[in-house]
């Protein structure tokens, strides 16, 4: 464990994220002196590998960092700040285009000390947030040019040239798409179907096996209809920009259930002019021709059919319970039924996969030519089912996910797909990112609206989170419970929470 003692209860999240980025396999604790004392008293503080002291001096506007091992000073450094307007954890100044805020000074100091200690740099430098495009995006809206944005990202956060190019390119593409849709007065709808054919080993979503829920899917749809009634009432004077049905696996619904759900939505809310209607049809083992026809008839414009990998062995290893051949059949069937915007998801760093497996996956995908490709880096959470399985079965995890990412990016480029959205998540393999690539005109609009948080997204179904974006950029969230039975029993309460937030 790495212990960080902070002299003030401040920036704990940023400090934690940055230490964790350098030491992904270690537990990191960021505590005040009082919190450390309390833990020592109740005996819950393990011995640390090393300790970092962060000392904030607001009077003299500086922050000091000392790295200690067994009480001995190993390294130390100090950074000066000139502004004092982001002294709380709630400030959004990770994105403020100023080098000298306390938060940015702190990050620069920590980055230089930690990179010196471990002896290497990080591709994203001191940027720890989950939306690295935020900075270039904000600066583009401020009228800054590419050179100014590059300089700021490099000097302030030490981001590598490659990642600056990636995030700046994406921000420009996102901005062009956002400028082309009237999103400011609009909103989007997310509907969660929390059922799957089986549970994948790496799953971190709300998902329950459809076999155990098949008899109650009708009741679940009734609850979604109640939520749709609320949306019609609350957003009656607003325009829907996009609808996204995700999960889980929405194609676990039968064709008549798909018609019932989308039909109800269309009767209550005008979705005839939306920019995009996506249904995740992720698991090939859930796709049938009748379901594809039902979706097409109901106006679905974009679907996602996900191989994750083109190796049968790996699919078995991760509990997908479908073969590569089944995936190819499902994909071809979707093309035959007229879907002209199909996304594929792949995951890099799956247990037991080497660089050659990723090369193989990309070669096979290139033959199929999807319109979008979303490249995820595997996220292994300590104590998760996946982490335990990897340990028990002795599967290795390829450490060079950076190289895997390059192979996937080159494959996407060779299919004419350009990166258009990106996010990072905690514990992500190689501290990298998830990136969506798309053909011109086929980028997932919902993904951009959701990622850039430029409009409200009302989310229906178990385990979903609704978001209200106010005119001044403030964001409020409210969630539906994950447990399907609780969700159905408490549906009035779920709606009431939304009513409080939106009305
Ligand atoms: S298909 Fe997706 S949501 Fe369903 S179990 Fe697998 S990872 Fe989870």
Instruction: Please give the DSSP secondary-structure letter assigned to residue 341.
Output: -
Rounded CA gap, 155 and 146, in Å?
14
Residue that is last in its domain, among 132, 157, 191: 132
Domain assignment present for residue 166? The answer is no
- The verdict on residue 170 lying in a domain is no
Is the same domain home to 343 and 447? yes
Say which CATH number the domain at 298 has: 3.80.30.20
Residue 159 lies in a domain: no
Q: Are residues 253 and 373 in the same domain?
A: yes
Nearest CA to ligand 1 atom 5: 199
Which residue's CA is the closest to the ligand 1 atom numbered 8?
203
Tell me which of 194, 196, 320 to substitute to probe ligand 1's pocket, judged by most ligand atoms within 8 Å of the beta carbon: 196
Of 9, 39, 38, 10, nearest to 27 (Cα)? Answer: 39
* Residue ranges lining ligand 1, Cβ < 6 Å: 196, 199-200, 203, 205, 207, 247-249, 282-283
Could you tell me the pTM of the whole model?
Answer: 0.88
pLDDT in tens, 226-275: 999 999 999 998 999 999 999 999 999 999 999 999 999 999 999 999 99
The answer to whether residue 47 scores a pLDDT higher than 90 is: no
Residues 354 and 427 in one domain: yes
Name the residue of 193, 194, 198, 200 to mutate for ligand 1: max ligand atoms within 8 A of Cβ.
Answer: 200
- Asked if residue 211 and residue 128 are part of one domain, the reply reads no
Angle, in degrees to the nearest 10, between helices 355-368 and 401-414: 20
Same domain, 119 and 227: no
If asked whether residues 243 and 114 sit together in one domain, one would say no
Centroid of ligand 1 to alpha carbon of 316 (angstroms): 14
- Residue 187 CA, ligand 1 centroid: distance in Å: 26
Quick check: 335 and 306 in contact, CB under 8 A?
no
Ligand 1 mean position, distance from CA 366 (Å): 24
pLDDT tens, position by position, 8-38: 998 999 899 899 888 877 889 999 999 999 9
58 shares its domain with 196: no
Same domain (yes/no): 378, 488: yes
Which residue's CA is the closest to the ligand 1 atom numbered 7? Answer: 203
Q: What is the pLDDT of residues 395-412, one digit of tens each?
A: 887 768 889 999 999 999
Name the region of 371 (left: φ>0; alpha: ψ -120 to 50; beta: rest).
alpha
In contact, 320 and 305? CB cutoff 8 Å = no
Q: pLDDT tens digit string along 288-313?
A: 999 999 999 999 999 999 999 999 99
Closest ligand 1 atom to Cα of 196? 4
Same domain, 113 and 211: no
Indicate the DSSP class of residue 346.
Answer: E
Mutate to test the pocket of ligand 1, among 198, 248, 285, 316 (most ligand atoms within 8 A of CB): 248
Q: Is residue 165 assigned to a domain?
A: no
- Residue 151, in any domain of the structure: no
- Domain extent, residue 419, equals 181-496
**Residue 134 and residue 138: Cα distance in Å, rounded?**
6
Q: Is residue 145 part of a domain?
A: no
pLDDT of residue 201: 84
**Domain shared by 105 and 213, yes or no:** no
Split into its structural domains, the chain has a count of 2
**Assigned domain for 162 exists:** no
Residues 357 and 469 in one domain: yes
Q: To test ligand 1's pocket by mutation, which of 192, 193, 197, 203 has the most ligand atoms within 8 angstroms of CB?
A: 203
Domain boundary (108, 132, 156) is at 132
Q: What is the CATH number of the domain that holds 121?
A: 3.40.50
Where does the pLDDT of residue 93 fall: very low under 50, low under 70, confident under 90, or very high at 90 and above?
very low
Cα–Cα distance for residue pair 56/3, rounded to 1 Å: 17
390 & 451 share domain: yes
**Cα 125 from Cα 160, distance rounded (Å):** 7
């Amino acid at each position: 464990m790495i212990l960080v003692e902070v002299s003030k209860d401040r920036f704990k999240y940023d400090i934690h994220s940055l230490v964790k980025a350098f030491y992904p396999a270690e537990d990191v604790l960021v505590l005040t002196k009082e919190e450390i004392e309390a833990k020592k008293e109740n005996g819950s503080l393990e011995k640390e590998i090393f300790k970092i002291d962060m000392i904030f001096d607001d009077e003299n506007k500086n922050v000091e960092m000392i790295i200690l091992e067994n009480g001995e000073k190993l390294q130390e450094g100090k950074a000066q700040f000139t502004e004092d307007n982001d002294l709380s954890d709630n400030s959004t100044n990770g994105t403020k285009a100023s080098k000298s805020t306390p938060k940015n000074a702190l990050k620069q100091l920590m980055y230089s000390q930690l990179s010196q200690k471990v002896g290497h740099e990080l591709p994203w430098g001191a940027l720890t947030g989950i939306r690295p495009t935020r900075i270039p995006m904000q600066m583009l809206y401020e009228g800054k040019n590419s050179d100014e944005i590059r300089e700021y990202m490099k000097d302030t956060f030490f981001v590598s040239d490659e990642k600056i190019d990636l995030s700046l390119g994406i921000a420009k593409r996102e901005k062009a798409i956002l400028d082309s849709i009237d999103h400011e007065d609009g909103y989007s709808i997310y509907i969660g179907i929390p059922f799957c054919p089986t549970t994948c080993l790496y799953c971190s979503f709300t998902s329950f096996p459809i076999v155990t829920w098949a008899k109650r899917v009708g009741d679940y749809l009734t609850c979604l209809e109640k939520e749709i009634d609320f949306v019609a009432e609350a957003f009656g004077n607003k325009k829907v920009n996009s609808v996204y049905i995700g999960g889980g696996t929405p194609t676990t619904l039968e064709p008549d259930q798909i018609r019932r759900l989308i039909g109800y939505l269309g009767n209550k809310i005008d979705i005839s002019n939306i920019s995009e209607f996506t249904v995740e049809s992720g698991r090939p083992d859930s796709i049938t021709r009748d379901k594809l026809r039902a979706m097409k008839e109901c106006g679905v414009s974009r679907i996602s059919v996900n191989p994750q990998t083109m190796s049968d062995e790996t699919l078995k290893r991760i509990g997908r319970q479908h073969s590569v051949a089944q995936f190819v059949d499902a994909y071809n069937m979707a093309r035959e039924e007229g879907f002209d915007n199909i996304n594929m998801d792949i995951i890099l760093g799956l247990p037991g996969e080497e660089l050659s497996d990723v090369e193989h996956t990309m070669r096979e995908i290139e033959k199929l030519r999807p319109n979008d490709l979303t490249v995820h880096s595997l996220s292994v959470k300590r104590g998760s089912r996946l982490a335990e399985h990897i340990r028990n079965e002795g599967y290795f995890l390829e450490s060079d996910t950076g190289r895997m990412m390059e192979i996937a990016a080159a494959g996407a480029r060779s299919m004419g797909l350009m990166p258009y959205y990106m996010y990072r998540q905690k514990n992500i393999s190689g501290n990298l990112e998830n990136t969506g690539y798309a053909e011109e005109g086929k980028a997932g609009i919902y993904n951009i609206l959701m990622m850039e948080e430029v409009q409200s997204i009302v989310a229906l179904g178990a385990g979903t989170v609704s978001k209200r974006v106010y005119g001044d950029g403030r964001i409020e969230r409210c969630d539906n419970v994950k447990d399907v039975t609780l969700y159905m029993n408490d549906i009035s309460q779920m709606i009431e929470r939304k009513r409080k937030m939106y009305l």
